[in-house]
Amino acid sequence: MFITFDHNLLIDLENDNGATGETLRQLVSFHDLGQITLRVSAIGASERLKGKTYAPNFMAFQERVRRLSQREIEILKPLGYWGITYWDWCVWGGDGTPESELEQRIHSVLFPKTEFKWQNYAQAKGIDPNQPTQAHNPEFQKWRNHKCDVLTMWCHIQYKGDIFVTPDKHFYQVTKRPALISLGARSILYPSDAVTFVNW
C-alpha cells in the first residue's frame, strides 16, 4: 500500500506536534515494518521554510526526509518548473502531454479561480511576470503555494498512490475530494483515518 504524505505532515513529524505527531509516528512505524510504503513529493523541497527562506539545495530536503524513518521514504519527482523545482528532481512534461493535462485538471479542481500559468496570473494582478524580484512578491508566493499543492497531488496520482494523507481541509471540500478521486487519487484521508484504515 502506497501512502503519500503532504508537506505539512513532514513539518508535523519534525516538530512532534501533539496528537497529530503521535498519529504520524504510527504510520511511520507501519512503514518501518514494511506494512506500507510512505512517499512524499520532491516539490516539498520547494516549500518555504521558517524565516520565509528556501532550502539551499535538494540534499537538505533529502536529509530532512531521511531523519523521519528507519526505512527510506520514497521521494517522487514532480513536473519541472524553472525557479521552483530542483532540476535533478523533476520530470519534463510539455504542453499537450498527458502529464501536463493531468496537472491542469488537478489545478482546475483545487484552484478554479487561479490562473494555471504564472504569466497569466501576474497579468491578471497587474504584475510584470518577468520582474527579477517576483520571488518576494506576495502574489507570486500565493501562486507558488497553489502550484506546490497541485504538484503534490499530481505526484500521488501519477505514481499511483493508494492513500493521500493530508490535514488540509481544502482537499476534502465536496467540490474537490470526489473530483480528485475520479482523477485517480483513489483515497484522501486525514492522518487518524489513515491509521484506522491500515489497522483494519
pLDDT at site 161: 98
Distance between CA 99 and CA 184 in Å, rounded? 13
Grade residue 79 by pLDDT with cuts at 50, 70 and 90: very high
The count of structural domains within the chain is 1
User: What is the grid cell recorded at 160?
Assistant: 499511483
CATH number of the domain enclosing 93: 3.40.50
> Can you give the residue range of the structural domain that contains 164?
2-199
For residues 83 and 122, which has the higher predicted lDDT (pLDDT)? 122
CA 66 vs. chain centroid, Å, equals 17
What's the pTM? 0.93
pLDDT tens, position by position, 118-136: 999 999 999 888 876 666 7
Distance between CA 178 and CA 109 in Å, rounded? 10
53: left (phi over 0), alpha (psi -120 to 50) or beta: beta
DSSP at 91 = B
Q: Does pLDDT of 51 surpass 60?
A: no
Among 58-67, 88-97, 160-169, whose mean pLDDT is lowest? 88-97
The b/e string for 56-74 (b: 16+ C-beta within 10 A; e otherwise) is eebeebbebbeebbeeebe
Distance between CA 112 and CA 109 in Å, rounded? 6
pLDDT at site 135: 67
Q: Does pLDDT of 57 surpass 90?
A: no
Of the candidates 99, 98, 107, which has an alpha carbon nearest to the alpha carbon of residue 148?
107
For residues 164 and 136, which has the higher predicted lDDT (pLDDT)? 164
pLDDT at site 133: 63
pLDDT at site 83: 81
pLDDT at site 14: 85
CA 159, 160, 163, 169 dihedral sign is: positive
Asked if 150 contacts 103 with a C-beta cutoff of 8 angstroms, the reply is yes
Mean pLDDT within 43-71: 83
CA 159 vs. chain centroid, Å, equals 13
Q: What percent of the chain has pLDDT over 90?
A: 72
